[in-house]
Structure 1
Amino acid sequence: MTQRSTRNAAWQAAQQWRARAAQSRPAGLGGSIKLFFTWLLFGALMIVALMLGLVLVLIGWAMMPFIRHRMKKRMEAMRAEQATDIGGGPYRESRRPHDALEGRFDVKDDDPGAR
């Protein structure tokens, strides 16, 4: 080790980190058992989460035909409603009160000198 490497701040920080990591390692049988149960708990939680996700996906897939049927019925109703709105002509019976103008109207000729 040279004089230059001992003054380097990054080198000193790495040495301190290495020393702290060596101290925090589980010592003996108690630390090993604690580490084993931690990994066992983590694995069990991962399996539970995987099963829950699988169940939710299966429920979603099972509901898809019902939702598709409902959406199909809704689209058919919307198309039927649009078809009744489009039909008819200029003299069709108005369903809305503001579609009709009431009163007396005079029809004017476009060319008054044609008579």
Structure 2
Amino acid sequence: MKDDSLQGVAGVIDKDFSAAKLAEDIQADELVILTTVDNAYVNYNQPDQAPIGKIKIDQLKKYLEAGQFAAGSMKPKIEAVIDFVEKTGKTAIITSLRNASKLDDGVGTIVYN
């Protein structure tokens, strides 16, 4: 641009990866991703659906590799928390907005190294 002005362009920003990167950059104590469900689940929407509580990152990676999380839904959240925990060694939590005030009670899916 000749006059050094800025011009907007269309773009897509992934909110989960953005949150993880911001948490990493500000050296947050933990990453919390809020969604519409209380936990991430294995076998989601199946008769044997089960919530994931506290889980080591290695096990969560196995679930991810097995295709347990839907693209465009839980999968980007799982990828973001894995990225955050790997890079920082800190904890990440996925839970619902209604559980946000109960984080100290161990609610949600808690991912650790």
Superposition TM-score, scaled by structure 1 size: 0.20
- Structure number with greater Rg is 1
Structure with larger RCO (C-alpha < 8 A, sep 6+): 2
Structure 1 or 2: more strand by fraction: 2
Structure 1 or 2: more helix by fraction: 1
